Every structure is written in structure tokens, then in C-alpha cells.
Chain A
Amino acid sequence: MGKRFSRGPDGLGAPRKKQKVVHEAPTSEEVHASRQLQQLLAPTQDPARARHGLQSFKLFLDELLSSDPPNGDRIQILKGYLQSAKPADSDGDENLVYLPDIMQTWSYAGQTNNDNLMSAVPVVLALLLKLLSQSLDTVPYGLGICRTLLQKRQLELVARNLSADKGKAFIISPTLRMLKEAVSFDGGAIARPLFRARGFTLKSLARNIGIVHIGDEAEDTKRPSARTNAILFFLAAIKFLQPEAKKELLSQRDIVAALTRDVKQDPPYLLRELLSGLRNHVLLDEKVPREAKASLLTTSTLVRLSALYQYRSDAPADDEQSIADIAHEFLMTACTNPACGVLRQDSGFYPRGTDPNAPVPTVELEDLGLESIVWMNSFKAEVPVRNYTLANFLPNLRPWSSVKQSELITSVFRVAPELVAHYFLSNKSFTFEPKLSATWIGYAAFLFNTVTLPIPDHFCRASSFAELPPPTSIVIDNILPPPLNQKALARSLAQKSSMISFFATRILVVAIEKLDAAIKMHQDPSHSYKTVWAEAARRLVDEFCQRSPGVQDMINAYRAIPEGDVLHREAASRLLRLCYEVLPQVALMAKFDVSPLLETSLGRLSKQEVGDPRDVALSLKELENLLAIAGCSPGMRWFAASEGLSLSPFTMLLKVCVEAPYGVVLGTIREVLNFVAVEQQLVPAHDGHPGLVVLLEALQTLRQTHPDSADHVWAFLDNCLTRCANAPLKYVEKMQEMRQEVTETASQDVSESVVVSAVTIAMLEQLPFLATKPEGQAVLRALGIFLPKYLGFSATARESRPLLGFVFSKMAVHLVDNKGKLAKRGIPDGLQFTYHPWPPAEEPRPRAIRDLATEPEGGMRAEVFMDAEALKGMLSLPDGLEADHSALMRWSSKTADELVDEGYVTSLVALLVSEHTSIRKEALVNILKAATKIKQSEYEEKEQVWLLLSELGETARDKIHDGPLPSPIVAFACHALKVLRDPLSSLYPKVNAFLLHGPFWSLDRLPLVDEILSEDPVVGDAYYTQISWLLSYLIDGLRTPGDLELFHKKRAKGPLFERILTLAANPYMRLPLRTQLLRMLYRATSIDGGSTTLTTRFGIVNWLEAREAACTDAGEKAVYRELRRRIWETSDQDRVRGWSKGGIEG
């Protein structure tokens, strides 16, 4: 082997390190007397003797400390020695030296560089101080020794010991132990002077804290490392020092940094001491200033302590917390308690540097809206924060792999909401791409917790809203944090693994709930700049829709859930319900027919397939959600039983309600049923009538008394309900006939206002047909029990008793009635039940239904009495195609934009209905010229506008010589022009498709009527918007008897008037649209022969009567009444009288 010069990393110093320190075991003897001790410890120049003495003393002290109770004789020996080694008290001299012999030996050791002795002295002093602190009468000795240590000679020795070579832990450790005993002696009596001498006592502390235990095995608690001793000394100092001194100590960066640097390898007991020491004497010490705490709790300290979440070397006893738990508690306090110096007050969703109350000129706000706020769009990629320590710390945690770390982050988010957006924007690496793994689930749970965090009060954690809204990007980042993007969420929903879809669904549920809360906050009435806040709310919804998966994805996910997974189904239906409630404009765009799902759910519930009653309750929650959706979607088919189901959804729901076996709360379902029943005119909509409750109550009573009979009535009931819902007027009319009959035959005056339910009449009508059916007899028997009860309850509900009696007498003929008992008994009296009159005054209805029912009713409510003038003011519209001859001249100087956008072309087009041929011709030439001008311009929609005008030109070319163009055609052109200007219009696709059909239009067919009335609206929920557009163009197009002819002409799908009038039967059509419809009628009455045609061809008088009867609003009723009067007045009365055989009179 060749010679090798070892040069380790320490260079020249390395060989010296290699010198083996030989620890010769010192000799010792047992101590029996104070005097012997004195002799043993007497100063000597012989190191071996000195060690012998100190070692003997050490063993003596060891034994005293370990025996419990301490041996009295030995205590006496010690006291004797201490007495002898105590200096003569001369006037409280500070420089009195206790244990002079030992101090001298130490000094001698220092002079001779005797490591063994330098170690042996602090060893015995540490033990001695420990022992002396245990008994009150020995405290003065201890204090004397401590003060002796604070003398310069000893301090220098302490410092020298502390700064011994790193390898000489056997010197450093006992010295640190001695200092620890000294600083805590007698409740920290000398802590202050000891810290004052920090130049000596804290010498090399940072380095010593870094001298860790080396070796594969864990640190032996009996032989603690220098680091352990140093930390224990530090903690003792922290415990007993004054706040100011603590602050000074904590400002020593090297010491603070060293404390946690190697924390991962520390033994459990030390960590317990460290964490509880720092927590109790720094974090929770109110007297320690915040900045001192902040200097301890730096980002790196927090990061290192967070490594303890993975600490696994402890084996806590049952009653003990694990290190990970203690570290978690520590970090929770450190990061979420503002008194700990880390957490700073932020302003919620307003990032650092924004002033939400800065004045923005009102003009700018009005003109530019949100754009006038300079910082509104500045935080999409980066968010400045006040809590920079936490902002830097949080990304080091692993919330997906530890519940506690997740809890820590979300707790921080809760107290420092500004960090949410910052956290996700600066940590883009972790995605939400679905994968069935513990990590993904952990991450999903973390995101769920983040989304459920509340929105800070008024967005800014203040007592009122700021002037300006928070940046939309920040709000949306808090509602759907960036990892929850559309792609990841949609993929999660579509996952085969139902658990992933379940987790994504739940996150979306809480996100929409939060969005709802945020929108409401934007709509708060206290905002000063309401338009700006409203704009921000719209943006928020747009942003949400960009991040959230489409409703169709949610619907598909819902459909994919197996029947029995009630928990999952409940969550998915809840999500859809929230979509319909919070984002109706988006939800209605999706093609979703809730009926089949509702039917499945009803079918399952009514068959009682589910075993566990809690599952039934959960399924009822799902049902409630579906009902709410059904309430929101106009397409719900309540009275059409689909294949495979014997009953219609309405009856099935009724059945579920009646048969609900566990007394679960069914309030919502009952309300929905009642709502539908009133809307469909099954039951009277009078104030004070309990509505459907009558039927429900009768069915429930029947089920309780005759459960077998109850099963028989459902099919019959369903038949009656369906028939009645399909043609309520028929039964209302029948009822009126009967009323008259009763009045005439029984000469009882049945007042018009008191009626019976239409469904009762339907039951009467259907009864005869039962007898012919095979199971008819059983049903008739059941009805024999049911109907009297039902009619009895109806009477209780203040329906007309004579009329009910009349109905029952007719019913009884068909019922199985032995010896006429039934008929004799009649309707029972005094059947009692409790009910809330409809609409309920106190209990709020489900939200969706409430929205439908409480649509603002305009100004009509107050106008109960209406005259012709008021009717005209409300329903008469100015002629939209009025000729303005100057239009022929004015257009030529205008640009293409102005021509289209400012209506110059529209005015030209309107001239095509002029009575003068020359004007029409000139208009046509000008239209074609304008079309060319537009086509050659830079106008964005020039192609379509040109096409429209050219097609109009082609259509008009030959016709205008004979007379004006039909108004509907011209009105269509004018209205279509407006659509082409706005590509976002829901009609844009339809108008364009129409233009592409051919080069000219049929004059006989009214454009787009079929497309709007019968076809899919193409763009989501635009059905009603399109109807509104259609009605306005038709009103403009109804001007002359010739136009009227087009309106009542027979066509494949019926005359246009008929189809328009049918629209009113849609219970979801709101007041503005209904009014628009009436305007069209009013317009027709203004045309010669219009009213007569309406009356004789379309039964408009009956139609208006039926509308009036169905309407609950007195104001609206008055409009129908007045319009009826106008029709009579403007019609050919003789003809009408003849046609109606006197039925219609003014």
C-alpha cells in the first residue's frame, strides 16, 4: 500500500482531530464525612488526585439525587462540607467565592488545558445545583454558587468550556447542564445577570445547538448530545428571562436558526420540551412583543417544524400526544393566532395595494364600468399579499397526504383569505387530473375544505361593503380554485369510478353555494355604485361558467349513477337543483328532461323498494331536489305517464305523499303538488281554499281506515287528474252548468264565487265508465268509502255544499250502494282537518317555485277598475312601420354603420308598405343602393345585411307595383335587421338559416313563425326571448285587413291566431309576455273586422273569460274584462249576436 496523505475536508486541521482523546476512567472513593470531602476537593496540582476527588464527589451527588427520600446522613455530610466551603459573610460582598477549592481546581485545569478536569468541574456543579434546588434550606448555598459562577474568573472558564472544540462534547455538555441549572435556580433568580453576561454564558450557543448526536442508533436519553443540552439550556433561559431579554435572545438569528435546523433527528422528549417551551414561553407569552415572536417564526422555522408531520421515531404512550400532533398544534397556533407575530391582518379579497374606497369619477364608472377600476384585472396571474411568511410557508406543506396539513392550510386560509388565490396561483404544479389514488382523494378533500371556507365579511373583513367590488379573479379563485378547471372537473364527473365523480360533484355543490352567497353580496342594497357591482356579479357568473363543467356533464354524470346509490344520487340531484336555482340561464340551456328521472325516483319510492328508513329519507331528499328542478323547467310533463309506469308523475307524487310510511317531513313535496294543482286549475285558486290538501287529507284518512280500498283508487284518480289537467275549462264549464241547474231546480242560490274543485267534476264524469271495467266493482266499492270523505273535506274547505250535494247525488247512482244507504247518508258533516290557506302566508315555498309565483306583477295590481283609456295606454302600441318619407333622402350621406345601427335602413324598408306606388318604388331602389353600399363597407355583418336587403328587394320587386307589401313581411325585415346587428342574439342562427333558404320570400307565409313556435330554440333557454321577439314583429306586422287575413288563414298547423292564443295556456309564461299577447289582440281590434273575426273564428270572448277565471290577480282580471268589452264594441255586433245565438251581449 502506497503512502497516503490524508487531507480531509478540514485541511491541515484534520490530522489533529484524529488524535484519539483517551478518557482514562478516574478513580474514586466513597465519602463518609464532610471533612473527607473537604480533603478530597482541596486544591492540588496533581490532576489525577483532583479528578479522584471530583469523581468521588460526583458519585456522592449521583447517589443523593437518585435516592428518594435522600439519605439524611449524607445530606448532613454535604451540608457540613458546604458550610465549610462557604465564604465568611463580609457585608454581602458580590465577589464572595463559594466552593473556592473547586473553583481553583477549575482555574488550574484551564491553565493546564486539562480537558478531563474542565469537564469534571461543571459535572459536579450541575449535579450540586440540581440537588440544592430541591430543598429550601439549601437554596442560599446554591444561590451563592450561582453568583460565584457569574464572577469574571468563572465566566471566562464557562466561555472557554462552551467554546471548546466541537468534538469535546464531554466538556460542552456538562457546562450547558450547569448553566441550565443556574438559570433556572430558585425560579430564575439569577437569570437576568446570567443573560447580562451573555458574552460568556451564551458563547458559541448557536454552534453548540448544532452539535447533534451522531450514530445510527437513537440518542440515548442518559447521554444527551450537546445539542440536547444546549436546547434545554435555551429553553430554561426562555422560561425565566424577562420579556425584553427574551426579545434580545430571539433576535440572535444564528441561535434561532440553529434551534430548528436539525429538528427532524431530535429525540422525542427533546421535541416535546422544545415545542411546549416555545409555545408557552414565546408564542403565548403576551408580554413578548410580536416582532420578537416573528423573528423566531420565520418561514424556515415553520418549514422545518412542518417536517415533524412525518416524524415517526416516537412511540407515544396512550395518554400522550404524538410529536406530529404536538407540532401540528404548535403550527396551528403560530400561523393562525395574530398575537404570534406571523399572521398579519389582510383585507380579504382585496389584494395588497388596492384601495377599494378610492374615489373613481362617477362619469368614468358609468361609461366604462369595471374597466374604470385600474386594478380590477391585475390579479389574474399574481397576487401581492401582506402575509408573506405564510405565503412562502404554505407551499411546503403536503395537504394531499396528511389530514392535519390540509387542516393547517385551510385554517390559515380562513384567517388570511388573501392567501387562497396566491397559494393556487403560485403552485400550479399539482393538478386535479382524476386518478383513483389516495393522493387524488386527499387533494380533492383539501380543495373541498378550501371551497367551503366562508367568504370574508363584506369581502374585506370590515363592518360594511367597500365602494368598489373586489377583483372578480380573486373571488372566483376562492370559489373554484384554479386547479378546479373545467377540463379536470368534467373529466372527474365523467369518470367510470363513481367515487371520483362523487367527490367532484360534492365540490361543485359547495362551489355553487358559495357562488350564490357571493352573488347575493354583490347585490346588497347598500352598495353605492350598484351598476358596477352588478357588472362584477355578471362577470363572476361568466367566470364561474368558464371553470365549471357544463350542466350537460352534470346531467350525464347523474344519469350514470346506479339506482341504489342514494347518497351519490342525492348529491348529484342537489348539484343540478343548485344549477337551476343559482344559474338558471345556464341550466336551462341544457337539454334536460327531468320527468324520467323523477318518475324513476317516484317509482322506487312508491314501491318501497328501499330497506333502510334512512335510505328512504335520503331518497326523499333526492326527490325534493328533482321536484325543485321540475319546478324550474317548463318542460316538465306532470300529467303524462311514460311507458312502463301506470300513473302520471303527479299522481305518483301524491301517492308517495299519502303513503310516506315513516312520517318523514314532506312539506316541500306537498307544496309542489299544491302549486302544480293550482296552476293546472285542478283545484280552486281562491284565497282561503286549502287547494290540494283536501284531496290529500281524504286520501290519508282512507289509507288509515281502509288501507285496502286506498290501493284501488289510484288508477281512477290518475285518470281524473290527467283529464282535468288536460282540459280544465271543460270541467269548469260543466261545473257552471251544474251550478245553474242547482240554482234552478233546487231554487238554492249558489253564488258564483263559491265553487267546487274541477277535479271533483272530473271524478263525477268518469265514474260511469268504471262499471264496464273488470276491476270496476272493487274500485267502486273503494270510492264508495272515499268519495263521501273527500266531498266532506271539500265542504269543510268551504266549497259550495249544495253543489257538492248535487254532485254526490249523481255519483251515488254509480257507486255500489246497498239499499241506497250511501245516498241517504249524503256528505258527512264536520270533517275537520288543519290546513294553511293557499298560498301559504308564512311558510316559504321552495325557492324555484317561489320565483315563479312571485314574479313582479308590474303596475297592474292596483288598477282593478280599468276604462278604455287605461286599456289603450297599456295595450296600444304605435305603428312600427309608420311612413317617414324623408328617409329616402337622409340615408345617402350616412356610413354603413349608421345606416344599420341608427335605423336609416329600417326607415327605408318601412316605406315598402306605403300606399303610394312611387314611394314604394323609390324605396326599393334606395334599399338596393344602400345594400350595395353596406356590402362594400367594412361593416362587420355586411354580408348578412346585404343578403337580407337583397332578398327583400327580390321579394318586393314585382309585388310593389300592385300594392303595398304585406306588413308582416316588412316588419320581419325590420326586426331581423336588429337581430343581424347582434350576433349574440338567440335568434341570430334562425334568421341566418332563414336567409339561406332561398333568394326570395313567400308572401303568404310569415317568416320564422314555425321555427320559433314549434322548433327547438337552439340557444338554451331562449324560448321565451324568441316568443317575445316574434310577438313584437307580429304586432308591427298587423296593420291592415290584408294582414289580418294572413293571421287567420288556415294553415297546416292551424291559423296563426289560434297558435298564438294557445301560448297563453302555458302557465310559465310571465306577465310581460302575456301583456304582449294582449297587445296583439288589441291591435287586431283596431283593424276593420278584426274583432268580429276574433270572435267568430277564434272564440275570443270565451278565451278572455277563461283567462280571467284562471287569473288570480285582480288587476289582470280587469284587463281581460275591459278587452272583452272593447272587442264587443268594435265588432259587428249584429253578426256576433247572430253567430252566438244571443250568447254574447255587450
Chain B
Amino acid sequence: MAAPVKSDKEIAAEFTSYYLQRATKEFAEDLDKVRAADDFKNDAVQILVSALQQGTALFSPEEQRRIVTAADRPESKS
């Protein structure tokens, strides 16, 4: 049975979470350095998270859907 189609909002949320997860993986080393910097206080975590996730704006809703739903598709018929 086909899975229900996800709403744009769900897609956006899933994509943001994937984007953040991907970014923290790719920049893990740099993020550690930032955490050790002098000016890392108060709102710094919030700044970091918001700065990283604003990149989702580069992806149109269709692109986000393409990427997020790739995980939902079954293995090819091969």
C-alpha cells in the first residue's frame, strides 16, 4: 500500500533535520573548534543551529521532497 503523501510542512521539518545532521557530520571538527572559542556563550548554540539550518533555503520544496523521500522509497526492483 502506498504511504500517505507527506505535507510540505512535514517534508520541510524532515529536511531541516537531515540538513542539520548532515552539516554537523561534515563540519564536526570545525564545530568543536567553535565551541572552544572565547565568544561561545549565551546564545551561541542557538546562533550556530540557526546559521547552519538557514541553508535549507537553498533548496526548493520540490528538491527537499526529492531528497527526503529518497529514504522512503523501496529498493529498486532489481
Q: Interface residues, chain A, CB within 8 Å of chain B?
A: 400-403, 436-439, 441-442, 444-445, 448-449, 452, 497-500, 502-503, 506, 509-510, 564-568, 571, 574, 612-618, 621, 660-665, 703-704, 707
Residues on the B chain within 8 Å of A664, using CB? 66, 70, 73
A444 nearest CB neighbor, chain B only? B51
Q: How many A-B residue pairs have CB under 8 A?
A: 116
Q: A437-B38, A662-B76 are in contact. Are A617 and B26 (CB under 8 A)?
A: no
A436 nearest CB neighbor, chain B only? B33
Task: Pick the residue among B22, B23, B57, B70 that contacts A662 (CB under 8 A).
Answer: B70
Contact present for B38 and A616 (CB under 8 Å): no
Contact present for A567 and B54 (CB under 8 Å): no
Q: Does chain A have a CB within 8 A of B13? A: no
A903 to B34, CA, bound (A): 65
A1019 to B61, CA, bound (A): 40
Task: Pick the residue among A401, A438, A498, A615 that contacts B34 (CB under 8 A).
Answer: A438
Contact present for B55 and A571 (CB under 8 Å): yes
Contact present for A567 and B50 (CB under 8 Å): no
Residues on the B chain within 8 Å of A615, using CB? 22
A498 to B28, CA, bound (A): 10
Contact present for B39 and A663 (CB under 8 Å): no
Q: A568-B26, A661-B76 are in contact. Are A441 and B47 (CB under 8 A)?
A: yes
Residues on the B chain within 8 Å of A402, using CB? 43, 47
A956 to B58, CA, bound (A): 63
A561 to B41, CA, bound (A): 29
Q: A437-B39, A438-B40, A574-B58 are in contact. Are A445 and B33 (CB under 8 A)?
A: no
Contact present for B50 and A438 (CB under 8 Å): no
Task: Pick the residue among B22, B50, B58, B70 that contacts A613 (CB under 8 A).
Answer: B70
Give residues of chain B (20-65) contacting chain A, Cβ–Cβ below 8 Å. Answer: 22-23, 26-27, 30-31, 33-34, 37-44, 46-48, 50-51, 54-55, 57-58, 63
Residues on the A chain within 8 Å of B38, using CB? 437
Contact present for A661 and B75 (CB under 8 Å): yes
Contact present for B26 and A614 (CB under 8 Å): no
Q: A402-B43, A506-B58 are in contact. Are A665 and B66 (CB under 8 A)?
A: yes
Contact present for A704 and B77 (CB under 8 Å): yes
A707 to B40, CA, bound (A): 54
Contact present for B76 and A617 (CB under 8 Å): no
Residues on the B chain within 8 Å of A441, using CB? 34, 47-48, 51
Chain B interface, >50% SS class: helix
Number of interface residues of B (CB under 8 A): 38
Contact present for A497 and B33 (CB under 8 Å): yes
Residues on the B chain within 8 Å of A662, using CB? 70, 73, 75-76
CB distance from A956 to the nearest CB of B (A): 62
Residues on the B chain within 8 Å of A661, using CB? 75-76, 78
A283 to B43, CA, bound (A): 29
Residues on the B chain within 8 Å of A510, using CB? 57-58
A703 to B34, CA, bound (A): 49
Residues on the B chain within 8 Å of A503, using CB? 51
Contact present for B47 and A442 (CB under 8 Å): yes
CB distance from A491 to the nearest CB of B (A): 16
A509 to B56, CA, bound (A): 12
Residues on the A chain within 8 Å of B70, using CB? 613-614, 616-617, 662, 664
Contact present for A445 and B50 (CB under 8 Å): yes
Rank and list the top 7 A-B pairs by shortest CB-CB distance, nearest first: A445-B51, A499-B30, A617-B70, A438-B44, A499-B27, A613-B70, A617-B67
Residues on the B chain within 8 Å of A663, using CB? 73, 76
Residues on the A chain within 8 Å of B46, using CB? 403
A661 to B75, CA, bound (A): 6
Contact present for A438 and B30 (CB under 8 Å): no
7 contacts between A and B (CB under 8 A): A403-B43, A436-B34, A437-B38, A438-B44, A441-B51, A510-B57, A662-B75
A615 to B25, CA, bound (A): 12
B23 nearest CB neighbor, chain A only? A567
A662 to B67, CA, bound (A): 11
A497 to B28, CA, bound (A): 11
CB distance from B48 to the nearest CB of A (A): 6
Residues on the B chain within 8 Å of A498, using CB? 26-27, 30
Task: Known A-B contacts: A441-B34, A571-B55, A662-B70. Give 11 more (CB < 8 A).
Answer: A403-B46, A403-B47, A437-B37, A437-B40, A438-B37, A448-B51, A497-B33, A498-B26, A502-B23, A621-B63, A665-B66
B18 nearest CB neighbor, chain A only? A614
Q: Does chain A have a CB within 8 A of B68? A: yes
CB distance from B30 to the nearest CB of A (A): 4
Residues on the A chain within 8 Å of B75, using CB? 661-662
B22 nearest CB neighbor, chain A only? A567
Residues on the B chain within 8 Å of A618, using CB? 22, 67
Residues on the B chain within 8 Å of A448, using CB? 51, 54
Q: Does chain A have a CB within 8 A of B2? A: no
A312 nearest CB neighbor, chain B only? B42
Task: Pick the residue among B54, B67, B78 that contacts A445 (CB under 8 A).
Answer: B54
A441 to B30, CA, bound (A): 11
Q: A445-B54, A618-B67 are in contact. Are A565 and B26 (CB under 8 A)?
A: yes
CB distance from A512 to the nearest CB of B (A): 11
B62 nearest CB neighbor, chain A only? A665
A826 to B56, CA, bound (A): 53
A497 to B73, CA, bound (A): 35
CB distance from B53 to the nearest CB of A (A): 10
A428 to B41, CA, bound (A): 25
